[in-house]
Amino acid sequence: QYADALSTLEMSPVQAVQHVVRTLLTSPHFLLRVEAGPDSERSPGALNGYEIASRLSYLLWSSLPDDELFDAAEGDRLATEDELREQVDRMLDDPKTAAFFQNFFGQWLGTRTLPSHNVDASLFPLWNDEVKGAMLDQANAYFAEFTTGERPWSEFLTAPHPANPLLEPLTARDPEGVRGGFLTLPAFLTLSSRADRTSPTSRAKTILAQLFCVPLAPPANVDIPELDAPGTGSGAVDNVRAKLEKHRESPDCASCHDVLDPIGLSLENFDAIGAYRTEYPNGDPIDATGKLEDTEFQDFSGLMPKLQADPQLGVCPSEQLFTYALRRRPAGADMSTFREIAARWDSGTLADLVKHVVTSDAFRLRGGKGEAR
């Protein structure tokens, strides 16, 4: 490239170097992970050992394969499901796995956006950068228990939270037993709120869309008003539940709010930074009661068993990990693939789910089932 730039393109030495660097940095081989090797002799479309090693390492470590993976690739050992499972166990024991649960959960459940999240500290004096960092640390420690530990996914909504001294002022007023599971982590409660108040609608929409893979689009051709814009002097002190009643007065809004409001309002005992409260800033008592389908509850602890029993809680992680591992959304035959994976996984450990994904045809074939080549 350099010699060609000097002679054919008649560039100066400086221009030639710039040309070479520019060409390298814009090359698909630099920007993308290219899987263009020859088909394995095992079957048409099968990735070779080095390509599988690359997929594994970038999935679990967000980095290059190590020597052991390269050795397994050279010996074509990654062609067997048993070897893939052994490699997953080995790799999850490595500290580099922190990249996996921080990136996977951070992308899926939004915790990677916490560093840029803003809260009005004049309304929530406990809020500062140290507390924000502690929230993220606690969330990542929680994710680690499901990734590198033996905690099954069936406990994701109920498991105790990792202790963090910096968050003790935030949880000091917690009644016994009120805190547990992902949905009462301060990180989730903060991210699903606005800077000046809670947002029951946002909390419920996040729960349904992210944890249960049930996206809710706003009604078409309907002008949805804000409860209260920040800075009006009333948005931070008004009774949010009372204001949401206005949305349900409209038939166009009621269909969504009948589903969203019971879920979101059940968490109203937690303010915009996840601290427990019993009343709004204006003195109105918090009413977290509700009814979702046939289940009546007094607060989130009464709703949680219904969410826990929803089969989608065990299906959605399979879809999310499939998407993360393959870097594309499932389509065509993929839909049955990840549902089969979910059925075999049965809300076991995340390590088990990873093994089901990496031993699937979709992961091991170039243009696996349902994927365009």
Same domain, yes or no, for 286 and 137? yes
Q: Output the pLDDT for position 140.
A: 98
- Of 280, 309, 338, the residue that ends a domain is 309
Same domain, yes or no, for 151 and 88? no
**DSSP label of 30:** H
The percent of residues in the chain predicted with pLDDT above 70, rounded, is 84
Same domain, yes or no, for 137 and 278? yes
Q: Is residue 226 included in any domain, yes or no?
A: no
Statement: residue 27 has pLDDT above 70: yes
Q: Output the pLDDT for position 43.
A: 60
Same domain, yes or no, for 13 and 84? no
- Of 261, 290, 309, the residue that ends a domain is 309
Q: Is residue 116 included in any domain, yes or no?
A: no
Query: In terms of pLDDT, which residue wins out, 94 or 24?
Result: 94
Q: Output the pLDDT for position 35.
A: 62
Q: Output the pLDDT for position 153.
A: 96
Same domain, yes or no, for 165 and 201? yes
Q: Is residue 102 included in any domain, yes or no?
A: no
Query: In terms of pLDDT, which residue wins out, 111 or 241?
Result: 111
Same domain, yes or no, for 208 and 158? yes
The DSSP secondary structure of 192-224, one letter per residue, reads: TS-SSS--HHHHHHHIIIIIS----PPPTT---
- Are residues 307 and 301 in contact, defined by beta-carbon separation less than 8 angstroms? no
Question: What is the rounded average pLDDT of the residues 211-220?
Answer: 82
Same domain, yes or no, for 160 and 246? yes
Q: What is the pTM for the complete model shown?
A: 0.86
Q: Is residue 103 included in any domain, yes or no?
A: no
Residue 49 and residue 244: Cα distance in Å, rounded?
56
- Are residues 291 and 262 in contact, defined by beta-carbon separation less than 8 angstroms? yes
Q: CB neighbours of 190 closer than 8 A, spacing ≥ 6? A: 114, 117, 119, 132, 135, 272, 273, 274
Same domain, yes or no, for 163 and 299? yes
Same domain, yes or no, for 249 and 352? no
Same domain, yes or no, for 5 and 77? no
Query: In terms of pLDDT, which residue wins out, 63 or 31?
Result: 63
Question: What is the rounded average pLDDT of the residues 348-361?
Answer: 95
Residue 369 and residue 334: Cα distance in Å, rounded?
6
- Are residues 199 and 193 in contact, defined by beta-carbon separation less than 8 angstroms? yes
Q: Is residue 193 included in any domain, yes or no?
A: yes
Q: What is the largest CA-CA distance in the chain?
A: 80
Statement: residue 287 has pLDDT above 70: yes
Residue 270 and residue 121: Cα distance in Å, rounded?
16
Tokens found for residue 242? 């009372």
pLDDT tens figures, 315-333: 999 999 999 999 888 888 8
Tokens found for residue 264? 């979101």
Same domain, yes or no, for 174 and 293? yes
Domain hosting 20: range is 1-32
Domain count, the chain: 3
Q: Average per-residue pLDDT in the chain?
A: 87
Q: Is residue 104 included in any domain, yes or no?
A: no
Beta bridge partners of 290: 297
Same domain, yes or no, for 178 and 46? no
Q: Is residue 329 included in any domain, yes or no?
A: yes
Q: Is residue 196 included in any domain, yes or no?
A: yes
Residue keyed to tokens 């929230």 = 135
Q: Output the pLDDT for position 235.
A: 44
pLDDT tens figures, 257-271: 788 999 999 999 999
pLDDT tens figures, 124-136: 999 999 999 999 9
Q: Output the pLDDT for position 9.
A: 66
Residue 198 and residue 193: Cα distance in Å, rounded?
5
Q: CB neighbours of 104 closer than 8 A, spacing ≥ 6? A: 320, 321, 324
